[in-house]
Structure 1
Amino acid sequence: MTAYEELMAFDRVTQALSSVAGRTGWDQETVMPEGAAEMRSEEMAALEEVLHARRTNPRIGEWLEKAAPETEEREANLRHIRRSFERASKVPAQLATSIARHTSRGQGIWAKARAEDDFAAFAPSLTEMIALKREEAGYLADGGDLYDALLDGYEPDMTGAELQALFDRMRPRLVDLRKRALDADAPPALDHEFDEAGQLALSTQLALAFGYDLHTGRIDKAVHPFSSGSGTDVRITTRTSLRDPFNCFYSTIHEVGHACYEQGIKDVYALTPLGSGVSMGVHESQSRIYENQLGRSRAFTGWLFGQMKDQFGDFGVADAETFYKIVNRVSSGYIRTEADELQYNLHVMLRFDLERQLIAGDLEVTDLEEAWNTRFASDFGYAVDKSSNGVLQDVHWAFGLFGYFPTYSLGNVYAGCLYQAMTAAVPDLEGALAKGDTTPATTWLRENLQQYGGLRAPRETIEHAVGVPPTEEPLLTYLEDKFGDLYSV
């Protein structure tokens, strides 16, 4: 075997073990008995100890020196392995194990605190997590910015300063458009109860409509919806709300976007560094374009309106156009995952600013809830009523995912670019969506982006798909056109 072949054989086992760890995490959030939390944390720590040892094995460095990048795919594999090896080698094994153990414990603590609206019960766990992540960032940063070191784990070659500049350009136009929409007459909200069984049945129908392969996937319930896995085992979760079926339907479509990215990657990339999404920003571009530009379009919601009438009977909405306006209703609300397209990015910007302060040491956990509530009131114009609608609503910080939140908005920006290119390239896209047929859209995404997995760097992945470097302009134009039409502003 050549050095490259030996390296890839070694990495294949590491990839497989990492998949096992991911499946164990899925189990914890879906079906694991509550009493197993402590044992699970030790299991996750043990898996991380093995994975860290493999990722930092000195033989990797030797193979990298000898391996020849003879093709684009080989060069990309070597790039990913080198990056993983260099990052992992900077972090002591004991610290990596401690983070894995605390991450597993923290999820359960957060879930209980959220259910009881008790931030104080979660604060000690979060304080410890931030200390661990700051320590990790210190090793990774080599004297540079701590937050950038963590962000690089989710969006390689992106910096907090770049994101801040992007958000500063986006915010004024988003705030102005939101004000005009909120000042206009709003459509009514849904006023009906939708049974859980019906929601889950239609949720599955939506997943299939967007191309999710249930032969290599499954749908379960979780407190916070997520997608997990790659290759031939890609699982999603959703949640239900008696009076808000959109919570279920659009959470499902969002997670299906993630899952279809993973299912759409070339089979030959399985259990290699190219066999999963290249970054969380690119991943979010798939979930957000499935959920919003496609799933909330006038054409697709017309089809969904018919499916809801078939499933639930008369639920108090007169026609498809009214339903489209209700789906895209701009209104006050606390929850990021339920926010309309106009306000969603403002939720992300809030979290981005707060987590940068936490990692920099400029904000203490003891002051976090007050800082959140003050910032929310300033940004949205009304007060947070309870912790589960505020600082406890997202699971990300419990998992130590500092640097993840801004990738949601970056994904929106990428989705705007992709949608602009898609509409130019796909004939009669709206006609297909009006029939519940997403195939022309999802095929275009699979052919131009998804199949390549981690072959290219994140921004290069988007540029390859759309033909030009990504910017925020297509997203902002799309939002102004859509909501200008909806609200006649």
Structure 2
Amino acid sequence: MSAYEDLMAFQRETTALGQIAGRLGWDQETMMPRGAAAQRGEEMGAIEGVLHARRIDPRVGGWLSEIDDAGLNGVGQAQMRHIRRTYARTQKVPAKLAAELARVTSEAQGVWAEARAADDFAAFAPTLKRVLALRREEGAALSEGGDVYDALLQDYEPGATAESLSQMFGALRPRLVDLRERIRAQPQPKGPEGTFDAAAQMELTRKIAVAFGYDLTRGRIDKAVHPFSSGSGNDVRITTRTSATDPFNCLYSTIHEVGHATYEQSIAQEYHLTPLGEGVSMGVHESQSRIYENQLGRSRAFTGWLFGQMVETFGDFGISDPDAFHAAVNRVQNGYIRTEADEVQYNLHVLLRFDLERSLISGALEVEDLEAAWNARFLADFGFAVDKPSHGVLQDVHWSVGLFGYFPTYTLGNVYAGCLHQALRSAVPDLDDQLSRGELSAATGWLSENVQQHGGLYRPREVIAKACGFEPNEGPLLDYLDTKFAAIYGI
């Protein structure tokens, strides 16, 4: 076998082991007994140690030195780009640190969940301090004297920098705030009334997931505290959650996670268990979940179909007609929770986290002061005070598992989704007619063909630019929001 074939066979085994580690994480969030948390931490640490050793195996270095990338086709060159990048990054992180990070963050999830349930940030703070210290150490090793936050950001959005994201976010903020303030002066649409059976919500949410192209023969839907998508290729699982008084929480959490899951399911089969067999970045991943959830799932056309499904499932729930239902689904209202935020204010939640985590990584903010800093920033940005930690600093799982650098990809994904939506509407001129019948195949098919099937073949911004025919920018998202909410609120 050639060096390239040897390397790819070795890489396939490494990727398979990584998928097993991911399955352990899925189990921890859905089915693992509470008393197993400490043992699961040891298990995660052990498998991370094995993975780290494989990623820096001397044979990998030998194969890389033998391979002439110029002699490979485009797919082979893309595979090598990912492998060389991972090899270089992994060599910088000591094996002991990698294993300790896996162990501590696995245990931290349970500590966070209990602290969140008890609304007790002080109970979580010592664990978060340990996670933060380890991530700072890892970032320092990766950055080699450069910007530590930028080094961590590369795990989620290769090629991005905090400075470039800050410029984009700075351009978003004024128009988002202006739109929100104009909306706040208008009467609010009426929301759903009554209680909604959890089993009925799950039945409807499975129907919607299938309509959006989720293949349940290669996936499953379970419940978790924090909805997520896990896996790739032919085993891609999602979770959602139900609320007795808010069925939209379940339905739109599911559509969001289906966007992530169908991305993974749609990647070309020949890329499975290779570096190209996963979504290329979290920003591109989020573009899929957000365009599914918002531009498609919250459109007037689709919500007209969904209204009929809601009446059929729940009977009278206090909303009289499709127009009122569309307004209810898109209500802009005060709220604490990022995952439940409307499209106008969602990115303001992300910007808050982006600024705070940069300060945490740099040392300008310490864990002991995080809750107060969060509450002060939230009050300044949203105009009302956080009432309890589970509505504030404890609401998201990300920092407990060390995902510093992840949050900005949510807003980047929204920007990408705005660009993709503009291109999609040009490519599918009768999109609204199809959505009004609950038919998503043309929309999801376009996304699969132009974004999802490529996996990691192209660089993040490159795949969006190829799909849209222009470089991604915040303009299409802002124009879409202005047009949509001006119609709903008559402003």
Q: Which TM-score tier does this pair reach, normalised by the shorter chain?
A: over 0.9
Structure 2: which amino acid aligns with 1:37?
A
The aligned residue for residue 31 of structure 1 is: 31
**How far apart, CA to CA, are the structure 1 residues paired with 2:464 and 2:244?**
38
**How far apart, CA to CA, are the structure 2 residues paired with 1:468 and 1:319?**
39
Pairing of 1:338-349 with structure 2 (within 5 A): 338-349=340-351
The aligned residue for residue 353 of structure 2 is: 351
Pairing of 1:413-428 with structure 2 (within 5 A): 413-428=415-430
**How far apart, CA to CA, are the structure 2 residues paired with 1:186 and 1:200?**
28
The aligned residue for residue 56 of structure 2 is: 56
Structure 2: which amino acid aligns with 1:248?
C
55-64 or 155-164, which deviates more: 55-64
- Find 1:224's aligned residue among 216, 226, 229: 226
- Mapped contact 1:12–1:272 kept (Cα < 8 A): yes
Residue 195 of structure 1 deviates from its aligned partner by: 1.0
The aligned residue for residue 85 of structure 1 is: 87
- Mapped contact 2:190–2:319 kept (Cα < 8 A): no
- Mapped contact 2:256–2:292 kept (Cα < 8 A): yes
Structure 1: which amino acid aligns with 2:40?
R
- Mapped contact 2:55–2:86 kept (Cα < 8 A): yes
Structure 2: which amino acid aligns with 1:152?
Q
Unpaired runs of 5+ in structure 2? none
The aligned residue for residue 13 of structure 1 is: 13
Structure 2: which amino acid aligns with 1:125?
T
> Scaled by the length of structure 2, what TM-score is found?
0.99
Question: What secondary structure sits across from 1:314 in the alignment?
Answer: coil
Pairing of 1:299-318 with structure 2 (within 5 A): 299-318=301-320
Structure 1: which amino acid aligns with 2:16?
A
- Mapped contact 1:264–1:450 kept (Cα < 8 A): yes
Pairing of 1:358-377 with structure 2 (within 5 A): 358-377=360-379
Residue 188 of structure 1 deviates from its aligned partner by: 1.3
**How far apart, CA to CA, are the structure 2 residues paired with 1:198 and 1:383?**
35
The aligned residue for residue 130 of structure 1 is: 132
- Mapped contact 2:175–2:478 kept (Cα < 8 A): yes
**How far apart, CA to CA, are the structure 2 residues paired with 1:214 and 1:411?**
25
**How far apart, CA to CA, are the structure 2 residues paired with 1:290 and 1:61?**
41
Query: C-alpha deviations, 1:8-38, integer Å up to 9, x for none?
Result: 0000000000000000100000000000001
- Mapped contact 2:157–2:409 kept (Cα < 8 A): yes
Structure 2: which amino acid aligns with 1:61?
G
Residue 68 of structure 1 deviates from its aligned partner by: 3.1
The aligned residue for residue 43 of structure 1 is: 43
Deviation above 2 Å: which 4+ runs of structure 1?
Answer: none
Residue 484 of structure 1 deviates from its aligned partner by: 1.0
Question: What secondary structure sits across from 1:217 in the alignment?
Answer: coil
Is residue 3 of structure 1 aligned with residue 3 of structure 2? yes
**How far apart, CA to CA, are the structure 2 residues paired with 1:279 and 1:386?**
33
**How far apart, CA to CA, are the structure 2 residues paired with 1:22 and 1:162?**
31
Question: What secondary structure sits across from 1:237 in the alignment?
Answer: strand
Pairing of 1:159-238 with structure 2 (within 5 A): 159-238=161-240
Residue 189 of structure 1 deviates from its aligned partner by: 2.0
Unpaired runs of 5+ in structure 1? none
Question: What secondary structure sits across from 2:220 in the alignment?
Answer: strand
Query: C-alpha deviations, 1:240-261, integer Å up to 9, x for none?
Result: 1110111100000000000000
> Scaled by the length of structure 1, what TM-score is found?
0.99
Pairing of 1:106-117 with structure 2 (within 5 A): 106-117=108-119
Q: How many residues align?
A: 489
- Mapped contact 2:424–2:446 kept (Cα < 8 A): yes
Is residue 249 of structure 1 aligned with residue 251 of structure 2? yes
Structure 2: which amino acid aligns with 1:406?
P
The aligned residue for residue 282 of structure 2 is: 280
- Mapped contact 2:21–2:47 kept (Cα < 8 A): yes
Query: C-alpha deviations, 1:154-205, integer Å up to 9, x for none?
Result: 0001000111111111100000000001111211122221110111111111
Structure 1: which amino acid aligns with 2:34?
E
- Mapped contact 2:352–2:378 kept (Cα < 8 A): yes
**How far apart, CA to CA, are the structure 2 residues paired with 1:258 and 1:222?**
16
- Mapped contact 1:4–1:68 kept (Cα < 8 A): no
Pairing of 1:449-464 with structure 2 (within 5 A): 449-464=451-466
Query: C-alpha deviations, 1:443-470, integer Å up to 9, x for none?
Result: 0000111000000000001011111110
- Mapped contact 1:275–1:453 kept (Cα < 8 A): yes
CA RMSD of aligned residues (A): 0.6
**How far apart, CA to CA, are the structure 2 residues paired with 1:216 and 1:188?**
38
- Find 1:290's aligned residue among 244, 269, 292: 292
Q: Percent identity?
A: 65
**How far apart, CA to CA, are the structure 2 residues paired with 1:219 and 1:187?**
31
